[in-house]
Amino acid sequence: MKKALITGITGQDGSYLAELLLEKDYEVHGIVRRHSTSCTDRIDHLLNDKSNEDRLFLHYGDLTDSSNLHRLITEIKPDEVYNLAAQSHVAVSFEVPEYTAEATGVGTVKLLEAIRQSGLPIKFYQASTSELFGGIPGTAPQSEKTPFYPKSPYGAAKLYSFWITKNYRESYEMFACNGILFNHESPRRGENFVTRKITLAVGKIMAGKQEKLSLGNLDAKRDWGFAGDYVEGMWLMLQQDKPDDYVLATNETHTVREFVELAFKEVDVDIEWRGTGVDEKGYCKKTGKLLVDVDPQYFRPAEVKLLWGDSNKAETALGWRRKTSFRDLVKMMVRSDLKIAGIK
Ligand code: NDP
Ligand code: GDR
């Protein structure tokens, strides 16, 4: 039985990856931070499943605590380590830049050092990101060959993690891979990322629990896929003969505005846009009710305008391809949030 250690197991991707690895008969270990309330909502279904009793284990820890990482690596002796833990919110990284550097950047080298010093033949996956590209005009679609230009403290911290992962691979012949993943979403997406914020609002507005949805930049373009598809790509990277870096993306891009339109369309509401910039507003075409407006508090000090991936390399080398379409992703998220809002 193979053993995997997942940092960030309580997050969106951690939960889908844990599911996948348990299905593949791995013994799965996860690092969790101490919270004043429970933080295991996304994996409670796995923890409550009796068949996982002797193959799913949680350990307290933190990427900023290297002594803890050393102890866990030497005690667990995993075959594979997936480093998914991070302060992962781009806008929040402007508010907590130092902490983001510590957890999202330096945390990676702490984990790599723990692995290196253990002397164990551990395969390592680093959760790298399309935020490394920064959406510089003329560079899309972005592939492994596109130059990096991060535009946030988060992106800069992930840039360090990308290079230190590559550096440990080249310096110490470690099996270390970067998955450069474009945005991936799901009903388990954190509530303050734009897709989930939109689908939650659709559910609450339909249930009469929210008046309208306030957003930032409606023109931002993202390459949005389904998280469940992407964790399969992470696993595939560690099953190859040689370590390498790969982009995972849908090869499509859509604006935030399009996501809003499609999400409301799922509940038979057509949006009519009026005005521009901060004065842009979205109304229900049929009733004229205001449903969406723009609030400058959601603008970022620097914005990545266009992310559009090219996952050709992963498709050819790993045989990976996204399975879920953009439309099906929006539908899946809206349906789940309608249920949460009390509507079937
Ligand atoms: P989430 O924000 O949902 O999950 C982040 C996880 O990291 C949580 O389990 C969180 O724990 C944990 N964490 C945060 N800080 C620390 C720390 N200091 N020590 C230990 N654990 C910590 O992110 P996603 O699941 O969406 O993303 C997974 C990874 O992939 C992240 O590194 C993200 O930056 C990266 N990524 C994500 C993409 C996406 O579109 N989702 C795209 C590209 C990269 P807690 O529950 O305690 O908060
Ligand atoms: P992103 O995701 O920054 O791409 O990072 P997010 O959903 O936060 O933003 C996507 C785009 O939507 C615009 N936007 C808003 N964003 C938020 N959060 N809230 C709003 O109200 C809003 N209105 C418009 C943003 O400006 C942005 O352009 C995600 C994270 O998962 C990272 O960890 C990961 O590395 C990247 O995706 C790839």
Q: Are residues 121 and 61 in the same domain?
A: yes
Q: In what order do the strands lie in the sheet with 290-294?
A: 213-215, 290-294, 281-284, 271-274
Ligand 2, atom 15: closest residue by C-alpha: 194
Residue 322 confidence (pLDDT):
98
Q: What is the mean pLDDT of the chain?
A: 98
Choose the catalytic residue: 27, 131, 261, 315.
Answer: 131
- Whether residue 344 has pLDDT greater than 90: no
Q: What are phi and psi of 269, to 5 degrees?
A: -110, 125
If asked whether residues 100 and 202 sit together in one domain, one would say no
CB 106 within 8 Å of CB 88: no
- Estimate to the nearest angstrom the gap between the alpha carbon of 175 and the chain centroid: 22
| 167 & 246 share domain | yes
What is the rounded distance in angstroms from the CA atom of residue 320 to the CA atom of residue 16?
A: 16
Based on the domain organization, do 19 and 79 belong to the same domain?
Answer: yes
pLDDT at 39: 93
Same structural domain, 161 and 263: no
pTM of whole model > 0.90? yes
Q: Are residues 283 and 310 in the same domain?
A: no
CATH of the domain at 51: 3.40.50.720
| Complex ipTM more than 0.90, yes or no | yes
State how far Cα 145 lies from the chain centre. Answer: 21
Q: What tokens appear for 92 in the block?
A: 């929040």
Cα of 317 to ligand 1 centre, how many Å?
26
Residues 166 and 112: their CA atoms lie apart, in Å, by: 11
Please write the tens of the pLDDT for every residue from 20-72.
Answer: 999 999 999 999 999 999 999 999 999 999 999 999 999 999 999 999 999 99
DSSP string, 60-84: E--TT-HHHHHHHHHHH--SEEEE-
- The sign of the CA dihedral 324, 341, 10, 94 is positive
| Cβ 299 under 6 angstroms from ligand 2 | no
pLDDT computed for residue 76 by the predictor? 98
Statement to judge: residues 24 and 120 lie in one domain: yes
Q: Rounded to a whole number, what is the distance in angstroms from the first to the last CA of the chain?
A: 41
Residue 312 and residue 269 share a domain? no
How many residues would you count in the chain?
344
Confidence tier at 260 by pLDDT (50, 70, 90): very high
Same domain, 144 and 284: no
Which amino acid, residue 145? K
Question: Crossing angle for the helix pair 107-118 and 153-172, nearest 10 degrees?
Answer: 20
**Do 82 and 131 fall into the same domain?**
yes
Given its phi and psi angles, is residue 302 left (phi above 0), alpha (psi -120 to 50 degrees) or beta?
beta
CATH number for the domain harbouring residue 200: 3.90.25.10
- The letter for the amino acid at 275 is G
Establish whether residue 11 lines the binding site of ligand 1, counting it when its CB lies within 6 angstroms of any ligand atom.
yes
Interval 164-209: pLDDT, tens = 999 999 999 999 999 999 999 999 999 999 999 999 999 999 999 9
Q: What is d(CA 79, CA 66) in angstroms, rounded to the nearest whole number?
A: 19
Is residue 131 among the annotated active site residues?
yes
- Of 154, 168, 230, 246, the active-site residue reads 154
Q: Kindly report, residue by residue over 264-283, the tens digit of the pLDDT.
A: 999 999 999 999 999 999 99
Domains in the chain, number: 2
C-alpha–C-alpha distance, residues 68 and 60, integer Å: 8
Q: Identify the band that residue 135 occupies on the pLDDT scale cut at 50, 70 and 90.
A: confident
Question: What is the average pLDDT across 279-308?
Answer: 98
pLDDT in tens, 60-110: 999 999 999 999 999 999 999 999 999 999 999 999 999 999 999 999 999
pLDDT score of 61: 97
Do 47 and 159 share a structural domain? yes
Shared domain check, 276 and 234: no
Print the domain residue range for 284.
194-219+255-304+332-340
